[in-house]
């Protein structure tokens, strides 16, 4: 498959990992997460992946005009992925906000993955 497909798959795994961290670690721990040992490495990894993914995804959407995906969704998803890299470590974040952001991002990423799969066949 393509590089875009691989990067999209990696981001889906990252978002699922982030949500898992939020639900199983952040919500149950007493103290805040250590910024330099936990938050920054995770956020940096997600940020570097989304920086590579966004231009490829936007170009693909503009060129291929897939159903239900638009360039503005790519931009918004990329921004939200960056936010999630940090938000999932903050105890004071509301469950609903994190959950809705995760759903929104996963919708875009999964739509892209499906469309890329169909195109590859």
SS3 38: helix
Model pLDDT, residue 2: 73
**pLDDT, tens digit, 9 for 90 and up, residues 74-96:** 999 999 999 999 999 998 999 99
Tokens representing 33?
A: 């997460």
Rounded Cα distance between 72 and 77, Å, is: 8
What domains appear along the chain, each with residue ranges and CATH number? 3-120 (1.20.120.440)
The model carries a pTM of: 0.93
Considering only 7-11, 29-33, 45-49, 114-118, which range has the smallest mean pLDDT?
Answer: 29-33
Rounded Cα distance between 68 and 77, Å, is: 14
Tokens representing 30?
A: 């007493």
């Amino acid at each position: 498959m393509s590089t875009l497909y691989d990067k999209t798959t990696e981001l889906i795994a990252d978002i699922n990992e982030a949500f898992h961290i939020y639900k199983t670690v952040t919500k149950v721990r007493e103290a805040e997460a250590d910024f330099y040992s936990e938050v920054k490495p995770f956020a940096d990894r997600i940020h570097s992946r989304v920086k590579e993914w966004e231009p490829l995804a936007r170009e693909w959407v503009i060129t291929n005009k897939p159903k239900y995906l638009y360039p503005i969704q790519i931009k918004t998803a990329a921004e939200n992925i960056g936010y999630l890299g940090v938000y999932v470590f903050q105890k004071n974040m509301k469950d609903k906000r994190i959950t809705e952001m995760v759903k929104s991002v996963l919708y875009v990423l999964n739509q892209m993955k499906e469309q890329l799969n169909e195109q590859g066949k």
